[in-house]
């Protein structure tokens, strides 16, 4: 057997392993998309990837299907590689046999590891779906599943660190366990906080998180005055433009920067303002989560609350943060 064929099979195994992980993630994404949850990107990670979803699933059943899709895909791929290994054995090709044996085994490991019932691993999502169905509360279900996720993470950390000091453990554990464990602990914490945040904000009407005192400019103000009397005086990076109580656009720091300085005296706000995107307009029946997710999705620093075209308030990350800090017990509740 030549060195070249060894290298060739090493490259093939790496590519097929990478393809296996991708297939696992794509099957999550496919089911998520079918359930109407947009998946914006897929991050490949040490032990499989993570399909990043923009929102929570709508029902326990959706979550269950989405979560189980990945491990099922891994088992299916393992079966295919197992078949390939059998074929390689029949033809007496030992190098291919070793490669396919490794590939079916690693895909089974991937499926088993991901099925550990700690959120946000796939198994933890399946577990959460079950608890959600049982308790009827996504928040409580996430709390329990995330605690299990953290507990499992700590076990991995203990095994990883333990393997440094207690050699017999090295037979199956390494310091990598500690890294993966740490990743799991923090992922479980973050996912739980994300769920609680959504659950909390979705119950808060926009009126509670908005600032009703909106500073607006009129379209006839000169750009020079806009800078000195508005941008330099208030810590906002954009202002709504208002005419007779109605918002007709927004003007942001970038719009001012795009204009040569010598023209600041000559031009007015109406010349540089932009129309207000519909995504940045909320109504009084929207909730604080709508506001937060709109800002995140459109990378905007503020959204406006209107009532019949009249502006009634402005919401920024700061006004939401202020609400959360004065209602400090929001993070502790588990129901």
Residue ranges that bind Zn ion, judged by CB under 5 A = 70, 114, 122
Q: CB of residue 115 vs Zn ion: minimum separation in angstroms?
A: 9
Q: By C-beta, is 31 or 295 nearer to Zn ion?
A: 31
Three-state SS at 252: strand
Comparing CB distances to Zn ion, the nearer of 75 and 227 is 75
Q: How far is the CB of 71 from Zn ion (least distance, A)?
A: 7
DSSP, residue by residue, 153-205: HHHHHHHHHHHHH-GGGGGT--HHHHHHHHHHHHHHHHHHHHHHHHHHHTTSB
User: Rounded to the nearest whole angstrom, what is the least distance from the CB of residue 45 to Zn ion in the complex?
Assistant: 10
Which of 37/315 has CB closer to Zn ion?
A: 37
Give the residue with the Cβ less far from Zn ion, 22 or 270. 22
Quick count: other Cβ atoms within 10 Å of Cβ 38? 12
328 alpha carbon, distance to own chain's centre: 24
What is the smallest separation between the CB atom of 48 and Zn ion, expressed in angstroms? 6
CB 308 → Zn ion: shortest distance, Å?
Answer: 47
Return d(Cα 119, Cα 128) in angstroms, integer: 7
Select 114 or 319, whichever has its Cβ closest to Zn ion: 114
In the bound state with Zn ion, the residue whose beta carbon lies nearer, of 73 and 295, is: 73
**Dihedral angle at the C-alpha atoms of 219, 223, 224, 228, nearest 10 degrees?**
70
Which residue is closest to Zn ion by CB?
A: 70
Closest contact distance (angstroms) between CB of 110 and Zn ion is 8
DSSP secondary structure letters along 295-334: HHHHT-SEEEEEETTEEEEEEEHHHHHHHHHHTGGGGT--
Q: Maximum CA pair distance of the chain?
A: 85
CA dist 331 → 39, 195, 198, 267 (Å): 26, 10, 11, 48
**Element of type H or E holding 137:** none
Shortest CB 283 distance to Zn ion, Å: 38
Burial 55-64 (b: 16+ CB within 10 A, else e): eebeebebbb
For residue 51, the minimal CB distance to Zn ion (Å) is 7
Residue 4 or 43 having the CB closest to Zn ion: 43
Q: How remote is the C-alpha of 316 from its chain's centroid?
A: 20
> 120 or 240, CB closer to Zn ion?
120
From the number of C-beta atoms within 10 Å of its C-beta (0-12, 13-18, 19+), residue 14 rates as exposed
């Amino acid at each position: 057997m030549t060195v070249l064929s060894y290298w060739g099979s090493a490259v093939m195994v790496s590519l097929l392993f990478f393809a296996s992980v991708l297939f696992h993630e794509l099957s999550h994404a496919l089911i998520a998309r079918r359930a109407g949850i947009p998946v914006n990107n897929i991050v490949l990670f040490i032990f499989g990837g993570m399909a990043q979803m923009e929102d929570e699933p709508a029902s326990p059943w959706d979550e269950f299907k989405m979560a189980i899709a990945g491990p099922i895909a891994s088992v299916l791929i393992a079966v295919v590689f197992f078949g390939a290994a059998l074929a390689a054995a029949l033809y007496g090709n030992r190098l291919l046999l070793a490669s396919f044996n490794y590939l079916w085994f690693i895909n089974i490991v991937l499926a088993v590891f991901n099925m550990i019932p700690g959120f946000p691993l796939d198994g933890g999502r399946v577990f959460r779906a079950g608890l959600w169905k049982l308790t009827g509360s996504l928040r409580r279900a996430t709390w329990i599943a995330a605690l299990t996720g953290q507990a499992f993470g700590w076990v991995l950390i203990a095994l990883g660190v333990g393997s440094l000091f207690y050699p017999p453990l090295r037979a199956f554990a390494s310091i990598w366990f500690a890294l993966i464990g740490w990743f799991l602990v923090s992922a479980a914490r973050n996912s739980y906080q994300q769920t609680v945040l959504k659950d909390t904000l979705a119950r808060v009407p926009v009126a509670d998180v908005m600032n009703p005192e909106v500073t607006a400019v009129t379209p006839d103000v000169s750009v020079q005055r806009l800078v000195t009397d508005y941008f330099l005086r208030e810590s906002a990076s954009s202002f709504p433009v208002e005419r007779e109580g109605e918002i007709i656009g927004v003007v942001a720091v970038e719009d001012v920067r795009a204009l040569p300085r010598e023209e600041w005296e000559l031009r007015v706000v109406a010349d540089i303002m932009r129309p207000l995107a519909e995504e940045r307009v909320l109504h009084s029946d929207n909730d604080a989560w709508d506001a937060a997710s709109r800002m995140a999705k459109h990378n905007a620093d503020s959204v406006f609350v209107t009532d019949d075209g009249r502006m009634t308030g402005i919401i920024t990350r700061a006004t939401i943060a202020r609400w959360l800090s004065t209602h400090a017990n929001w993070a502790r509740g588990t129901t």
